Chains A and B, each alone.
Chain A
Amino acid sequence: MSAPLLQVSDLRISYGSGSHRREVVHGVSFEVHPGEVVAVVGESGSGKSTTAHAVVGLLPASGAVDGGSVRLEGEELVGLPERAWRSVRGARIGLVPQDPTLSLNPVKRVGEQVAEALVVHGLARGAAARAQAVELLTAAGLPDAGVRARQYPAELSGGMRQRVLIAVGLAAGPRLLVADEPTSALDVTVQRQVLDHLEHLRRESGTAVLFITHDLAVAADRASRVVVMSQGRVVETGSARQVLTAPRHPYTASLVASAPSLSSARVTALPRAAASAVPAPAAPAAPVGRAAAGAGEPLVQVRSLVKEFALPGRGRTQRAVDGVSFSIGRGETLGLVGESGSGKTTTARLVLGLERPTSGQVLVEGRDTAGLRGRAWRELRRRMQLVYQNPYASLDPRVAVGETVAEPLRAFGVGDRASRRRRAAELLEKVQLPADVLERRPAELSGGQRQRVAIARALALDPELVVCDEPVSALDVSVQARILELLVQLQADQGLSYLFISHDLAVVRQISDRVGVMRHGELVELAPTAEVFTRPRHPYTVELLEAIPGRRALEEVP
C-alpha cells in the first residue's frame, strides 16, 4: 500500500486552561491514503470535529494539541508556526465547513470568495482568478455559475452555498479535503446531490477526503473506510461494509442498531403490566399499541386546508399549505414528511389552532374548530399538545423541571400545589426520568432528557393528540431511538394519537401507521407506511426514498 497521505497518531487535544483544562481527544490514530475517502463517525462530544479541526490547525483559542502527531505527506503539522500553516491550509488541505449559511462571508460576492483561495496562494489574481472561480463553481455543480459568482450568499439556497464551499475547499487543488458534516444542514435530496457531486469531483481530481459525520449511514455510503469515535477515542476502524454489517465493538453495534436509515424495523412497545393502571380513554392497550387506523370516527379531520402568508410587496402571497386533507384516527400515528419549506410545520400549527387557515376546515371529533371560543376553545387546547423540535430552546432555562412539567396544570387550574407536584413526579416517571430531575434546571440535563421533560409537559393534561414537530432531529441517533421507543410506549399505555412531523423518512417509517408526503404545500402522497416504502406512487416520494443514505453500502460491493 502507498505511504499514507495523512497520518494521525496518538493525538491528544484538550480545552480550557489551568485547573479547568480537560482532555477531550485521548490518543486518536488513523490514516488517510492518497485518493481515499475515510469517514470519522461519532455522536456529539465524540471529539470528531475537534480532531478534524486539529488536522487543519484551526482549533479554537482555548484548545491545544497536548501530544501525538499529525503528519501530512510525512511532514509534521503539530507545532507548525502560523505562517507555515498558511501555506498548508487551502493549498494542501482544503476544508468544507459544516454550516453553509454562516460559513460564507455575507458581504462578499461568492465568486470573490472562491477566487480568494487562489489569490492567497498566488495561483491567480484579478480577472484570471475571477474566471477560474467561475470554472470552479461550474465544476462544483453550481448552475449558471457566471451569474451566481456575482451574487451574495443570501441570494443562494443552502445547497448552492454548500457547492460554493466545496469550490472554495477544492480551489487551490489540495491533496486532502476535510469535510466537516458538509451536508448535515441540508435536505436529504439536496444532501444526496451534493455528496454525489463531491464524489465525482474527488474521482476526477484524486483528492483524498476526510469526512466527518454523525450519520453512520452517510459515512458507510460515501467512505471506503470508517473510523468510529466515542468519547474522544477511536473504538473501531474498518471497511464501510464490515463496520455496518459486522461491527466488532459494542458501541458501533449500538450505533448501527440505532441508525434509523439502516433498519426498517418499526419501533414497538413492550406490553406492560402497569399499563392497566393508566385510564386509557379510547384505545385500551391494543396489541403493541396499534389501533386499527380508520376504525370509528377519526379524532382529527383536516379538509382542504389552505394557508397563505403575505409576502413583502403589494398583495403578493405565498401558499404555505395548499389544499391538504387527511385524518388522524384514535391511537394512530400519522407521519408527515417533507423537506424544509414544504409546509409541514404550518400544517401542524393549523391543526393545533395556532394559525387560522385561509380556507378549509379542521374538525375534532367531527366538530369544526373554527368557531370555537372561550371555554370550548380552551378545552380543545387541553386535548391537543405539542412537542417541539429543539429541546434546548423549548424549556425555560430559569425554571426547575418540576415547575415546567406542572405548568399546563397551573394554567388550567388543575389541583393544588401539592397535587400538581405529585402529578409532575408521576409524569417524570412515565417518561422514565429519575425523580431528582424534578428539582433540576434544563441546563443540567442532556438533550435526550430535556426532550423527555418536554414530552412529560405535553402529557400533563392527558391530551388525546400530541403533535411532535421534529422531536428527535436535534438528538444523537442512540438518543433518538430511545425517545422513539418512549413515544411508542406512551401511545400503547394511553391510547394517544400522534401527528409526527419529520424531514427524515427513515424516522417516520419507524413510528408511523400512515405516512403523508408533503411538497410545496401539497400533500402528494398519503398511504399506509409499508405501502409508501414498498410501492411509492408519487415520483417525489421515490426521489426521497432513494436519497435515504445507507443503501449503497449494504447493496453494492464497494
Chain B
Amino acid sequence: MSSALAGYLARRVGQAVLVLWAAFTVTFAILYLLPSDPVAVMLGGGQGEQVDVDPAQLAALRAEHGLDDPLPVQYAAALWRTLHLDLGTSISNGAPVTRLIADALPQTALLAAAAFALALVLGVATALASTWARWGWVRSLLLALPPLGVSLPTFWVGLLLIQLLSFRVPVFPALGNEGAASLVLPAVTLAVPVSASIAQVLARGLRTALAEPYVETARAKGASRARVHLRHALRNATIPALTIAGVIVGNLLAGAVVVETVFSRVGIGRLTVSAVNGQDIPLVQGLVLLAAAVFVATNLVVDLLYPVVDPRIRLLGGARASARRTARATARPVVGSTS
C-alpha cells in the first residue's frame, strides 16, 4: 500500500468519526432546545398530553434522568453513555432503546437489502438499455423512465400494488412481516424510486463515457458494442454513480418509513413514526444516531471502494477527492427530488 493510499484511508476514517460525533452533538442540541418537557411527556403516558402532576414527583424524575444537571454535564454524560452503546430507555414503554432498535432493525435491513438488490438490477439494466438501444425513440423512452420513477409517490405505488396484487388478484399478502411473500410488494415499492436514481446517474455516466476518446480507441481495435459498453464505459460510469450511494441509502431509510406504514410492517420506519408521534426523545435520538451511523458507514464504504474502482485515486491519494466532491454536488440535485 502506498503512503498516498494510506493517507487517503486515514483521512476518510477520521472524517467518518468526526461526522458521527457531530451528528450526536446536533441531535443533543436540537432535542435540548425543543420546547417539550420530556418528564411531562413521560408522565402523560407518551401521548404528549399535559397532565397535572406533583412538582416533587417531577423534580425526582428530573433528577433520576439527570435532567437537572448543568448542560455540559448532561452532554458529557450522554456522550459517555452513547460511547458505551447505552442509548437510555424509551419514555413511552420503558424498554431499552438499543433493544427496541435491535428488534426492529433486521426487518428493515431485510426490506432495504431486497429493495436495493432489485433496484440495482433494474437501474443498471435500464441505464445500459438506454445507451445500448439503436433506435432513438427507444432510447428516449428508456431515458424518460427514471424521472417518472422518482416522481411517483411511494405510498401511492404501495397502495396501487396492494390493490392489484393483493385484493384484485390475491398473489401476495397486503400486510405484515410473515414469510418471504410478504416482502415482495414492500420491496418492489421501495425499489422503484431507488432504481430510478441509479438508472438516472448511471445512464448519464454511460453517455459521458461513451463520448470519451478512449471508447473510440476501443472501437478502433475492433471491439464489439457489448465489449465497449461493459468493459470500457460501465466501469467509468460507475465512478459518478458511486457518489450517490449515500443518497440511495437515504432514500431507502426515508422510503422505509412510508413503506412500513403502508404495509403495516414492523421495522425501523414504523418505530421512527411512533417515536416521533409520542415525543419519545431517547428513542428519537437513538434512531437519529442510527441513521447517521448508516450514512457514515455507507460513505466510508464508498470512499474505500473508490480506490478499487478508480486507480487514479490509488495513485494520487486525495488529489482527486475534490473532483469527486464536485461530482457529488452535481449528482445530488438530479436525485434530490426522491425523498
Residues of A at the B interface (CB closer than 8 Å) are 56, 58, 82, 86-91, 94-95, 97-99, 102-108, 113, 116-117, 120-121, 152, 154-155, 165, 168-169, 171-172, 312-313
Tell me whether B220 and A152 are in contact (CB under 8 A). Answer: no
Smallest Cβ distance from B265 to chain A, in angstroms?
A: 40
Chain A residue nearest to B224 in the complex (CB): A86
Tell me whether A97 and B312 are in contact (CB under 8 A). Answer: no
Complex: how many Å from CA A87 to CA B312?
Answer: 33
Q: Contact partner of A152 among B4, B213, B312, B319, CB < 8 A?
A: B312
Tell me whether A104 and B222 are in contact (CB under 8 A). Answer: no
Chain B residue nearest to A82 in the complex (CB): B225
Q: Contact partner of B217 among A91, A97, A107, A154, CB < 8 A?
A: A97
Contacts of A87 in B (CB 8 A): 222
Tell me whether A106 and B222 are in contact (CB under 8 A). Answer: no
Tell me whether B213 and A312 are in contact (CB under 8 A). Answer: no
Q: Contact partner of B311 among A107, A117, A120, A172, CB < 8 A?
A: A107
* Contact pattern, B 213-244, Cβ under 8 Å of A = 1, otherwise 0: 11011111111110100011001100100000
Complex: how many Å from CA A427 to CA B222?
Answer: 54
Chain A residue nearest to B233 in the complex (CB): A105
Tell me whether B310 and A117 are in contact (CB under 8 A). Answer: no
Contacts of A103 in B (CB 8 A): 213-214, 216-217
Contacts of B213 in A (CB 8 A): 97-99, 102-103
Contacts of B212 in A (CB 8 A): 102
Smallest Cβ distance from B139 to chain A, in angstroms?
A: 11
**Given A116-B221, A120-B227, A121-B222, A105–B315 Cβ distance below 8 Å?**
no
Complex: how many Å from CA A108 to CA B239?
Answer: 14
Q: Contact partner of A95 among B4, B214, B220, B315, CB < 8 A?
A: B220
Complex: how many Å from CA A113 to CA B311?
Answer: 15
Tell me whether A90 and B214 are in contact (CB under 8 A). Answer: no
Contacts of B224 in A (CB 8 A): 86, 120
Most buried by B among A82, A97, A107, A312: A107
Complex: how many Å from CA A56 to CA B219?
Answer: 10
Residues of B at the A interface (CB closer than 8 Å) are 3-4, 212-214, 216-225, 227, 231-232, 235-236, 239, 309-312, 315-319
Contacts of A89 in B (CB 8 A): 219-222
Tell me whether B223 and A116 are in contact (CB under 8 A). Answer: yes
A-B interface, 7 closest residue pairs, ranked by CB to CB distance from nearest: A90-B222, A95-B220, A117-B221, A90-B221, A152-B311, A102-B213, A89-B222
Pairs A–B under 8 Å by Cβ, sample size 18: A58-B219, A87-B222, A89-B219, A89-B222, A90-B223, A102-B214, A103-B214, A103-B217, A105-B217, A107-B309, A108-B232, A108-B235, A116-B221, A120-B221, A121-B222, A154-B311, A168-B221, A172-B222
Tell me whether A152 and B315 are in contact (CB under 8 A). Answer: yes
Complex: how many Å from CA A103 to CA B216?
Answer: 8
Contacts of B319 in A (CB 8 A): 312
Tell me whether B236 and A97 are in contact (CB under 8 A). Answer: no
Complex: how many Å from CA A95 to CA B315?
Answer: 29
Tell me whether A168 and B222 are in contact (CB under 8 A). Answer: no
Contacts of A95 in B (CB 8 A): 216-217, 220
**Given A103-B214, A105-B232, A97–B311 Cβ distance below 8 Å?**
no
Complex: how many Å from CA A58 to CA B214?
Answer: 13
Q: Contact partner of A88 among B218, B222, B232, B316, CB < 8 A?
A: B222
Tell me whether B317 and A90 are in contact (CB under 8 A). Answer: no
Q: Contact partner of B310 among A91, A102, A107, CB < 8 A?
A: A107
Contacts of A90 in B (CB 8 A): 220-223
Complex: how many Å from CA A95 to CA B217?
Answer: 7
Chain A residue nearest to B314 in the complex (CB): A152
Complex: how many Å from CA A104 to CA B212?
Answer: 9
Complex: how many Å from CA A106 to CA B315?
Answer: 12
Chain B residue nearest to A83 in the complex (CB): B224
Most buried by B among A58, A154, A168: A154
Contacts of A313 in B (CB 8 A): 3-4
Contacts of B235 in A (CB 8 A): 107-108
Complex: how many Å from CA A169 to CA B3?
Answer: 36
Contacts of B310 in A (CB 8 A): 106-107
Smallest Cβ distance from A71 to chain B, in angstroms?
A: 19
Most buried by A among B213, B225, B231, B317: B213
Tell me whether B214 and A312 are in contact (CB under 8 A). Answer: no
Tell me whether B222 and A165 are in contact (CB under 8 A). Answer: no
Complex: how many Å from CA A165 to CA B222?
Answer: 14
Complex: how many Å from CA A165 to CA B225?
Answer: 20
Contacts of A106 in B (CB 8 A): 214, 236, 310-312
**Given A116-B221, A120-B222, A154–B316 Cβ distance below 8 Å?**
yes
**Given A86-B222, A312-B317, A312-B319, A154–B312 Cβ distance below 8 Å?**
yes
Tell me whether B217 and A168 are in contact (CB under 8 A). Answer: yes
Contacts of A113 in B (CB 8 A): 217
Smallest Cβ distance from B136 to chain A, in angstroms?
A: 10
Smallest Cβ distance from B250 to chain A, in angstroms?
A: 27
Smallest Cβ distance from A309 to chain B, in angstroms?
A: 14
Chain B residue nearest to A152 in the complex (CB): B311
Complex: how many Å from CA A152 to CA B3?
Answer: 18
Complex: how many Å from CA A286 to CA B324?
Answer: 56
Complex: how many Å from CA A91 to CA B217?
Answer: 13
Smallest Cβ distance from B230 to chain A, in angstroms?
A: 13
Most buried by B among A104, A105, A106, A171: A105
**Given A102-B213, A312-B319, A107–B220 Cβ distance below 8 Å?**
no
Tell me whether A105 and B221 are in contact (CB under 8 A). Answer: no
Chain A residue nearest to B217 in the complex (CB): A103
Contacts of A91 in B (CB 8 A): 222
Complex: how many Å from CA A121 to CA B235?
Answer: 22
Chain A residue nearest to B209 in the complex (CB): A105
Chain A residue nearest to B227 in the complex (CB): A120
Beyond known contacts A105-B217, A312-B319: 18 more, CB 8 A cutoff: A58-B216, A89-B221, A89-B222, A94-B220, A95-B216, A97-B213, A97-B217, A98-B213, A102-B212, A102-B213, A104-B214, A105-B236, A106-B214, A106-B236, A107-B309, A116-B223, A117-B222, A154-B316
Complex: how many Å from CA A82 to CA B232?
Answer: 18
Smallest Cβ distance from B193 to chain A, in angstroms?
A: 29
Contacts of B232 in A (CB 8 A): 105, 108
Complex: how many Å from CA A429 to CA B4?
Answer: 55
Chain A residue nearest to B225 in the complex (CB): A82
Smallest Cβ distance from B133 to chain A, in angstroms?
A: 13
**Given A86-B222, A117-B222, A155-B315, A105–B214 Cβ distance below 8 Å?**
yes
Complex: how many Å from CA A106 to CA B231?
Answer: 12
Complex: how many Å from CA A87 to CA B223?
Answer: 9
**Given A152-B311, A154-B315, A97–B216 Cβ distance below 8 Å?**
yes
Complex: how many Å from CA A202 to CA B309?
Answer: 37
Contacts of B219 in A (CB 8 A): 58, 89
Complex: how many Å from CA A116 to CA B222?
Answer: 9
Contacts of B218 in A (CB 8 A): 105, 116
Complex: how many Å from CA A307 to CA B326?
Answer: 30
Contacts of B236 in A (CB 8 A): 105-107
